[in-house]
Every structure is written in structure tokens, then in C-alpha cells.
Amino acid sequence: MTFELTQDYLDHIQQLIGSGDDVALRAEMEELFPADISGILYELEPEPAHYLLNLLDKSVGAEILANLETNDRTNLLGTFTSAEIAPFINVMESDDAVDILNEQPIQVREEVIGLLEDREQARFILDLLHYEDGVAGSLMQKELIKINVNLRVNACIEEIRQQAENVENVYAVYVVDDVGKLLGLVSLKKIVLARKTAKIADIYDDDVVYVETYRPVAEVAEVMQKYDLDAIPVVNVQQRLLGRITIDDVVDVITEQAEEDIQVISGLSGEVEEDDSIWQRSKVQLPWLVAGAVGSLMAATVINGFQSELGKIAALAAFIPIIGSTGGNVGIQTSSLILQSLSDTSGLTTTLARRLFRTLLVAVINGLVVGLIAGVYTFLIGEPRLFFVVAMSLLSVVLLASFMGTITPLLLNRIGINPAVASGPFITTANDLIGIGVYFLIAQLLLAEV
């Protein structure tokens, strides 16, 4: 049965914290999963959350801290002393420990490392701290199982037993030579089924996929997705094994990138959460809203410039919404397909000419169908003279919007700007402006004799 956090239960926990009933609190927390406790911490103020977290077993607390949102974790740990943080870091996987320490002031970071009882953990952390964000080295953890290629299976099993104490998940056993160079890997199944006297050199698989420490995290995610890996070894330029990256960290990267792209596509200029302050949310949403408003005012200016046409045929105004919405929809659909292709670098690269040709063919079909439907509607409302105006305008708008939706993200990607910014209000607003202008120009040309 899944846990559901209710206000009554939260009030009960707050009451126990307020009364200092540690025994009852520990009993309540022992019935919950770490993820459930995280939900409680999110609802508590920093000081009560501090009190509750300190009551937990350090391994449970470490798991909770590793999975908290960055802002919430920073606020929570701001109430802890270095001596209180150190026990959690001491039992945490090295990659998670580095992520948390990088969020702390330099003084706190150095104090915590100095207070760690596990000096091997301290060495792991120091090794990882110098990698900059966004590369494989910043994602890897030092905890893994590696064995020398010259061992026999019975000695290998003993080595695995010793090393596995510090490794939470064993996906594979890595095989190295005398200087630590990665040679391959051997599955636990092969080790279990092999004769005790068999040599690791005879049973390991040298066909291993790895990444170097300097590889971008996006590339790491692509490699793990392509080869369906649960973990991937990380090596230096000499191909010496330094650590591994596990699938949970890669999923976090993919999720964060997807959330950023969704926010950019939605017209948000920065990271925002639902529970952020009113000013923070407003500050993030305003830039694109202002840009959209300016674009709409420009579109209104274009409409105002064609008052004479509207005065002759008032029914022209009835088709302004479909012109604007169709252009925006087509632009977003097209740019979304381009963004999808840009994010997938595993296949062959499609040339710009081929992309534009395929987009043109699709746009012609879509434009003809939508234009014909809208043109037929002009007969139904008793304005047959607008048939060609509306039909040709929609065809032109679909073609132009498809072109913009294709070329804009490609150009932004070429000059090193996140192409996701092309997909939201930018393309919608630009297509509104262009579409309405094209609509009235066509109306002016075709209805000149009216």
C-alpha cells in the first residue's frame, strides 16, 4: 500500500517534533520509505525538518538528501553545522556527496571533508571535485568493483566480497591490468558458472563500451541509451578506470534537460517551480509575455494599416484568428520535429536542403487541405469572393510557418544557442505577424477591384 501524506498526518508529525518525542518519531519514520519521508520534509520548515532528519539512520538520511530538490536541500542544510553534515556525506555515494558539497560554501565543504571518518570517501570526493559540471567526470561515482585480469575465479570472488561492501548496486565487474587500464568486464553469471580455477583472462569480455571523463553528459546519455546500459565505466585519457556512471544519474540529467526545454518552449526565461514566490514566477514569465504582447501590438498595427479593406469587406476580420492560430500551430509542430532530430545524434545527419524539401512537401499538402476547408466555409457564410483570399492565405501561411519552424532552430543550433527557444512564443508571435500581413496583402491584391 502506498503512503499518502495528509494534513492530519503532517500535523501529527509536527506535534511529535514540537514535543520532542524522539521514540514515537523514529517509530513513525521506520514505517515509511525514504521517498515518503522526503515528502514530509518538503512540507516542513527548515528547523523542524532539521530535527527530523537528524533522528534518522544516517544511511536513510543520506538517501533522502541525495534525492531532494537542490533548492530545498540547500535551504535545509543551511540549518546544519559541518559536523552534522559530515555523517551523511560519510555514507553517501561519492557522486551524490560531491553534488551536495558543491552546493555548500567553500568553508563548509572543506570542514566536512576534514571531518569524514571514511578517509577513502574523502579521497574519492577530492578526486571528483575538480571536474566541471556538464562532463562525464562530474557524473561518475568512484564506488565500483574491479579485478585484476591475472586473478583466478576463486580469488576474484573473494575480491568481489570485499569490494561490494561499499557498492550499492553491482551491474558488472570491471577487469583491469596491473596499471589500472580498463580491459573489459565480466558478468556475475560467468563468474558464478566458471570453474574456481579458471582464469579471469579466459572469461572476461573485452568488447566494453566506456566514456572519457571529458565527454559531455548529453553524449554519455546518448551512449547509454543507444547500448541499453545500466552503468558505463569512465576512464581517463590513458584509459585507466576511474569510476562509473549509473543509469539513475543519467535519467536525472535527461529529466533536467527535458524540464529546461519544456520551460523554454513554454516561454519561461528561467527555472521556475509552482511553489516559488509570486515575484519569482512573475519575473520568469514576464520577458516572453512582454515580447508576445509587443508582437501582438505590431500585428494590430498591420491590421490597422488595412482598415480600407476591412471597411469594404467586414467578413475579412472573421478569418484573422484562423490565420494566426494556423501559423503558430504549424511553426511549433515543425520546430518540435526539428528539435527532436537535433537531439538524436545517433543516426545519419540530414542535410538542410533535404529537410527543407521534405518540409515543403508536407506544408503544401497541409496548406491545401486547410485552405480548401476554410475556402468552403466562405461559401457557407455567403462570402464566395473570399474563397481564393482565404485559401491562398492559409496555404502561404502554412508554407512560411513551416519554413520558419525549420530554419530558425537550425540556425540557432549552428550559432550555439539553445534551439528550444525557437519553439515557443517566438515562433508563434512571429508567425502571427507574418501571417496577418500576408493575409491582408493577398486580400488587397485579389480584391483590388472591389
Domain that holds residue 208: 146-248
If one compares 356 and 145, the residue with the highest pLDDT of the two is: 145
Q: Residue 266's pLDDT is what?
A: 57
Measure the CA–CA gap between 63 and 110, rounded to whole angstroms. 22
Average pLDDT, the chain: 83
- Domain of 288, CATH number, reads 1.10.357.20
pTM of the model: 0.63
Measure the CA–CA gap between 420 and 343, rounded to whole angstroms. 10
> Tell me: the pLDDT tens digits for 383-442?
888 888 889 988 988 888 888 888 888 887 788 766 666 556 667 777 777 888 888 888
Same domain, 291 and 179: no
| 267 inside domain | no
| 3 inside domain | no
Q: Residue 309's pLDDT is what?
A: 65
The residue from 88, 104, 130 where one domain ends is 130
CA-based torsion, 401, 405, 410, 413: positive or negative: positive
| 266 inside domain | no
Same domain, 354 and 386: yes
Same domain, 47 and 159: no
Q: Residue 70's pLDDT is what?
A: 85
Measure the CA–CA gap between 377 and 389, rounded to whole angstroms. 12
Residue type (1 letter), 343: S
Q: Residue 15's pLDDT is what?
A: 93
Same domain, 51 and 125: yes
- Domain of 28, CATH number, reads 1.25.60.10
Q: 381 falls in which pLDDT band (50, 70, 90)?
A: confident
Distance linking the first and last C-alpha atoms of the chain: 73
Find the range with the poorest average confidence among 35-44, 193-202, 256-265, 313-322. 256-265
3-state SS record for the chain: CCCCCCHHHHHHHHHHHHHCCHHHHHHHHHCCCHHHHHHHHHHCCHHHHHHHHHHCCHHHHHHHHHHCCHHHHHHHHCCCCHHHHHHHHHCCCHHHHHHHHHCCCHHHHHHHHHHCCCHHHHHHHHHHHCCCCCEHHHHCECCCCEEECCCEHHHHHHHHHHHHHHCCCCCCEEEECCCCEEEEEECHHHHHHCCCCCEHHHHCECCCCCEECCCEHHHHHHHHHHCCCCEEEEECCCCEEEEEEEHHHHHHHHHHHHHHHHHHHCCCCCCCCCCCCHHHHHHHHHHHHHHHHHHHHHHHHHHHCCHHHHHHCHHHHHHHHHHHHHHHHHHHHHHHHHHHHHHCCCCCCCCHHHHHHHHHHHHHHHHHHHHHHHHHHHHHCCCHHHHHHHHHHHHHHHHHHHHHHHHHHHHHHHCCCCHHHHCCHHHHHHHHHHHHHHHHHHHHHHCCCC
Strands of 241-246's sheet, edge to edge?
211-212, 231-235, 241-246
| 273 inside domain | no
Same domain, 116 and 186: no
Contacts 24+ apart (CB under 8 A), 281-285: none
Q: Rounded to whole angstroms, what are the CA distances from 103 to 112, 124, 341?
A: 13, 17, 34
At residue 239, what are phi and psi to the nearest 5 degrees? 65, 25
- Total number of domains constituting the chain: 3
| 425 inside domain | yes
Same domain, 122 and 202: no
What mean pLDDT do residues 343-371 have?
Answer: 75
If one compares 365 and 449, the residue with the highest pLDDT of the two is: 365
